[in-house]
Amino acid sequence: VPEPPKLQKLFSHPLYQPQDPRTPAHRNLLLGYQRATGSYRKRVAHHNRKRRAHHAAQNSSAPLTEAVFDVSAPWLQFHLEISQDALYPRASRTVERLIDWMGNMTVISADLSPDEKALNGECDCNQVVKPSGTHLKVILQFQDYGKAMFKPMRQRREEETPEDFFYFVDFQRHNAEIAAFHLDRILDFRRVPPVAGRLVNLTSEILKVTANEDLEWVFFVSPANNVCLFAKCPYTCKTEYAVCGNPHMLEGSLSAFLPSLNHAPRLSVPNPWIRSYTFAGKEDWEVNPSYCDWLKQTEPYTNRKRLLNMMDLAIFDFLIGNMDRHHYETFSKFGDEGFMLHMDNARGFGRHSHDETTILAPVYQCCLVKEDTWLRLRLLSRPEYRLSDVMRESLSRDLLETVLTEPHLLALDRRLQKVLQVVEECVQKHGEGSVIMKEGGQQAAATG
């Protein structure tokens, strides 16, 4: 499949070409090939044994779909290509394969997410900010043993977040997950795990294949004869209703799983620009203008590279309008130098008519930006590479039609201008040399 014109032009621009040939890729990979494939082979075999036993015990006549071991499975390729630089290499075709794979692969089982299981059915209805395990999401397992997280459609594309909603009660949007992945790729951050849209058959691809009784329990048939499922806690607390298919099919986002925590442990770090998650409370950064000066003296942000990564994250979140970035994750293996994972973007793209400038606080408080990022942002503001155009092209690859409505796409251009403006104001105040930073190698970071 040839790339659409503008997007292809963007990706062939020098700024999107490998720049540092000195670092041999294999030395900085997250996983070892032998260990990863070996463990994969073992787990497939174990899984099939278990399912066969279960199937025999149930005496069911339905044909059993067994998991297949496949070394060239896209999800495995994706895991093997994760390096210190990013989640996936620029030139890799794996991402495209992964999107097709998630959109089409046969689902063999479904389950609740581990953080929902960890809640153990407990649910405090008086809690204003409920833990992430209370959101409706389902883990789907494919025939080649790969997994993806399914987040169903909650809101129609044209709907905006009501103006009286706080960021912590906002909806989770499946299209935001999809669009955030594409935006992250266009910005060349490559820190969002690949996400694809898919029409899922709630009955045959979730209800019929799950062995989890709790998951079966949340299914019902609505008065309009549609198959529905709900997130247990919010439903019990009457804070949200179920999501329903039409009558079986429901669209949602599938985001590819990262390598198991056993192989690649991750650290979850609180965002220094976290919000108060209360109605009236204010955080230190919201009232203290010299917050960044303090932060620069604090581990791990004494590391210049880490701080610059924070700036990237803020710019990314501002562009999608995500105020709910309370934590970010990094791979333990790569230490403080490692990139940040931009996961859980479902609360972005809620309001196209509003730009939440406070999300940019890291940038205007620290007055820092990576040179690479700065050059790419400028490039994307030029008509021949306009951000909304390349986004539209990129999103057209997805199986779901019109992932983002036009107003949201155009808001990206407007917000990009605001980012550029904020940086330019910084440059005027502090001079280009102290604002726009070369990321450099390890030496440069050490001096920072």
Partner 1 sequence: MKMILVRKFRVLILMVFLVACTLHIMIDLLPKLERRSVRSDGEMGCACSQNHNEESHQQGWGKVRPKNTGEPGWPNKHTLRILQDFSSDPSSNLTSHSLEKLSGTVDKNESFRKLEQQEGPRDIADKQLIQERSINKAHVGTGHSRLAALFQHPLYKSSVPPLTEDDVLFNVNSDIRFNPKAAESQDWQHVVNEGNEEEVFMPTGEAHIDSYPNWLKFHIGINRYELYSTQNPAIETLLQDLATLKINTVAMKTGGTQLKLILTFQNYGQALFKPMKQTREQETPPDFFYFSDYERHNSEIAAFHLDRILDFRRVPPVSGRLVNMTKEIRDITRDKTLLRTFFISPANNICFYGECSYYCSTEHALCGKPDQLEGSLAAFLPDLSLAKRKNWRNPWRRSYHKRKKAEWEVDPNYCEGVKMTPPYDSGTRLLDLIDMTVFDFLMGNMDRHHYETFEKFGNETFIIHLDNGRGFGKYTHDELSILVPLIQCCRIKKSTYLRLQLLAKEEYLLSRVMEESLQLDKLAPLLYRPHLDALDRRLRIVLNAVSDCLEKHSYNDVVEDDWDSSDAKDKTT
Of 15, 29, 169, 267, the one binding partner 1 (CB under 8 A) is 169
DSSP one-letter code for 109: E
Least CB distance from residue 201 to partner 1, whole Å?
17
Tell me the CA end-to-end span of the chain in Å, nearest whole number.
44
Q: Does 244 bind partner 1 (CB under 8 A)?
A: yes
Q: Specify the residue, 163 or 299, whose C-beta has the smaller distance to partner 1.
A: 163
Place of tokens 């070892």: 32
Nearest to 199 by CA among 103, 287, 269, 116: 103
Least CB distance from residue 126 to partner 1, whole Å?
9
Nearest to 177 by CA among 155, 196, 154: 196
Q: Which residues contact 139 (CB under 8 A, 6 or more apart)?
A: 110, 111, 112, 113, 147, 148, 149, 150
Q: Does 237 bind partner 1 (CB under 8 A)?
A: yes
Q: Does 242 bind partner 1 (CB under 8 A)?
A: yes
Q: Does 217 bind partner 1 (CB under 8 A)?
A: no
Q: Does 226 bind partner 1 (CB under 8 A)?
A: yes
Of 220, 396, 429, 431, the one binding partner 1 (CB under 8 A) is 220
Q: Does 359 bind partner 1 (CB under 8 A)?
A: no
Buried b (16+ CB within 10 A) or exposed e, 4-18: eebbeebbeeeebee
Pairing, β 138-142 against β 107-112: antiparallel
Residue 307: φ, ψ to 5°: -65, -40
Of 238, 299, 353, 447, the one binding partner 1 (CB under 8 A) is 238
Q: Specify the residue, 167 or 291, whose C-beta has the smaller distance to partner 1.
A: 167
- Catalytic positions, written as ranges: 324
Of 280, 287, 290, 297, the one binding partner 1 (CB under 8 A) is 280
Of 1, 57, 62, 224, the one binding partner 1 (CB under 8 A) is 224
Of 45, 91, 118, 125, the one binding partner 1 (CB under 8 A) is 125
Q: What CA dihedral angle connects 265, 133, 354 and 378, to 10 degrees? A: 10
Residue 341 pairs with which residues in a beta bridge? Answer: 329
Least CB distance from residue 286 to partner 1, whole Å?
13
Amino acid occupying residue 129: V
Q: Specify the residue, 59 or 279, whose C-beta has the smaller distance to partner 1.
A: 279
Nearest to 245 by CA among 273, 266, 225, 265: 225
| Distance from C-alpha of 144 to C-alpha of 163, rounded to nearest angstrom | 44
Of 17, 60, 106, 239, the one binding partner 1 (CB under 8 A) is 239
CB-CB contact of 172 with 151 (8 Å): yes
Only segment of 158-166, 295-303, 381-389, 430-438 that touches partner 1 (CB under 8 A): 158-166
Least CB distance from residue 401 to partner 1, whole Å?
23
Of 24, 158, 262, 279, the one binding partner 1 (CB under 8 A) is 279
| Distance from C-alpha of 163 to C-alpha of 166, rounded to nearest angstrom | 8
Burial class (CB in 10 A: 0-12, 13-18, 19+), 412: buried
The kind and range of the H/E element at 115 are: helix 114-119
Q: Does 128 bind partner 1 (CB under 8 A)?
A: yes
Least CB distance from residue 234 to partner 1, whole Å?
8
Of 110, 186, 218, 228, the one binding partner 1 (CB under 8 A) is 228
Q: Does 166 bind partner 1 (CB under 8 A)?
A: yes
Q: Does 178 bind partner 1 (CB under 8 A)?
A: no
Least CB distance from residue 167 to partner 1, whole Å?
8
By rule CB under 8 A, what count of residues binds partner 1? 25
Q: Which residues contact 343 (CB under 8 A, 6 or more apart)?
A: 192, 193, 255, 328, 329
Least CB distance from residue 322 to partner 1, whole Å?
15
Q: Does 274 bind partner 1 (CB under 8 A)?
A: no
CB-CB contact of 352 with 163 (8 Å): no
| Distance from C-alpha of 441 to C-alpha of 437, rounded to nearest angstrom | 12
CB-CB contact of 69 with 145 (8 Å): yes
Least CB distance from residue 237 to partner 1, whole Å?
6
Only segment of 97-105, 178-186, 215-223, 252-260 that touches partner 1 (CB under 8 A): 215-223
Nearest to 375 by CA among 191, 188, 190, 192: 188
Q: Residues 302-341 vs partner 1: string with x where CB under 8 A?
A: ----------------------------------------
Residues at the contact surface with partner 1, assessed by CB under 8 A:
125, 128, 163-167, 169, 220-224, 226, 228, 234, 237-242, 244, 279-280
